[in-house]
Amino acid sequence: MKVTAIWVYPIKALRGISLHNAHLGPQGIKYDRRFMLWRVGEDGGLSKVQLDRYPECSRFAPEIVGDEIHVRYQPPRDPLVPPCPEQSVVLRVPLDPDVSRLDRQVLNLHQGMVNGYRMGAAYDEWFTACFGFPTVLVYIGDERRPVLGTFSPRAQPVTPPPTQQGWLSYLYSFIWGGAQRQSEPEPDWLTFSDMAAYLVASEKSLRNVNARLTSGGGPVDIVRFRPNIVVDGEGEGDEFDEDFWAELSIRGRPALAMTKMCNRCTSLNVDYDTGRFGEGEKGMVLKRLMSDRRVDKGSKWTPVFGKYGFLVDGLDGLDVAVGDEVAVTKRTSERPVWDWQYKDKSIARFYRYA
């Protein structure tokens, strides 16, 4: 199995940037989802801007140039908003802004709270003009969002204990800590990624999705699924074998602990050419998966495609490139169960620093 694509999304919800090689860190690919857009309500409150509600996000094309993100707005043939001068301007966003003079903003993304930094009027005005509604751009800086539920591999065992280790000693080390757990690092944390540092998708499974659609709408591209790492899936099991992956090695080295399946939403139905939800087959991707891909007992009404992951224990970083060999080195016998109650406001919290 090989890596066939790498994607980074510096500004959440906008188009991704295809990379030939990248550095994998504990919080994801370098620069992934460090910025996020929020809509300003009439009362001044902020609501997240994401593809499942704002398909026009697909018409913003970023690229990394030196130490900046250059964002271009690409109006579709059938305009989404009235033309304005800002639509022909390239917005330049520093990859590492100086936060010393930026205003702070408390944000809640899927009940993971964080104190972000508002980038300022120049950025807000550009996005507001292109979207057609009041918008603010926020940078996460060095702040951290907590990982809730058991999405982090540090929150759950993924394999039985070694045969030479008894169950009692294994349970003692996991539940009570034991000598090893006393020296564990601080808990995993996130930037503006939804629930995990990485999302891995398989081209073999994508072929299954496309086989469900008629040829009239054309094939569905992997970009609709917004993965970070794409593998060809060859040499493994059937389509959707990734449901049972627990660990992936890259170039022979354990790299990614795979924890939860990715439950999908209406963002799969976005037509990137029009900036709207697709018509006909282009708008039926989610429905086509509903028939047999609602396999997560923790979220039984949503279909699954792809697998979430984090770096394995003891790995601070790894360089990866398209073409690298990937192997499944650990599996689970059953599919994991979603347990991030992202609609339950009572569990909202900030990251607990060590």
Distance CA 240, CA 306 (A): 8
Amino acid at 10: P
Residue 305: inside a domain: yes
The pLDDT assigned to 187 comes to 87
Determine, yes or no, domain membership for 170.
no
Q: Would you give per-residue pLDDT tens digits along the chain (354 residues)?
A: 999 999 999 999 999 999 999 999 999 999 999 999 999 999 999 999 999 999 999 999 999 999 999 999 999 999 999 999 999 999 999 999 999 999 999 999 999 999 999 999 999 999 999 999 999 999 999 999 999 999 998 875 444 444 444 444 433 343 334 444 445 567 899 999 999 999 999 999 999 999 998 766 678 999 999 999 999 988 877 899 999 999 999 999 999 999 999 999 999 999 999 999 999 888 999 999 999 999 999 999 999 999 999 999 999 999 999 999 999 999 999 999 999 988 888 999 999 764
Contact at 8 Å (CB) between 55 and 48?
Answer: no
What does the block give as tokens for 101? 């003079």
- List the domain range (segments joined by +) for residue 105: 2-150+189-346
Inside any domain, residue 163: no
Q: Is the dihedral of CA 74, 219, 30, 185 positive or negative?
A: positive
Q: φ and ψ at 341, to 5 degrees?
A: -85, 75
Predicted local confidence at residue 217, as pLDDT: 66
pLDDT at residue 183, rounded to an integer = 53
Facing residues of 97 across strands? none
The token duo for 340 is 């991030």
- pLDDT at residue 267 in the model: 96
Dihedrals phi, psi of 121, to nearest 5 degrees: -60, -40
What is the CATH number for 338? Answer: 2.40.33.20
**Position 351 in a domain:** no
Backbone angles phi, psi at 35, to 5 degrees: -120, 155
Measured in degrees and rounded to the nearest 5, phi and psi for residue 265 equal -130, -170
In whole angstroms, give the CA distance from residue 103 to residue 246.
Answer: 41
- Report the pLDDT value the prediction gives residue 184, as an integer from 0 to 100: 56
Query: 172 lies in a domain?
Result: no
Q: β-strand 198-202 against 229-231: which pairing, if any?
A: parallel
Which residues, at least 6 apart from 84, have a Cβ–Cβ distance to it below 8 Å?
Answer: 129, 130
| Structural domain contains residue 174 | no
Q: Residue 44: how many CB atoms within 10 A of its CB?
A: 7
> What is the domain count for the chain?
1
The two tokens of residue 4 are 């066939």
Is 159 domain-assigned? no
Q: Quick check: is 73 in a domain?
A: yes
pLDDT at position 52 = 95
Extract the tokens encoding 29: 């690919």
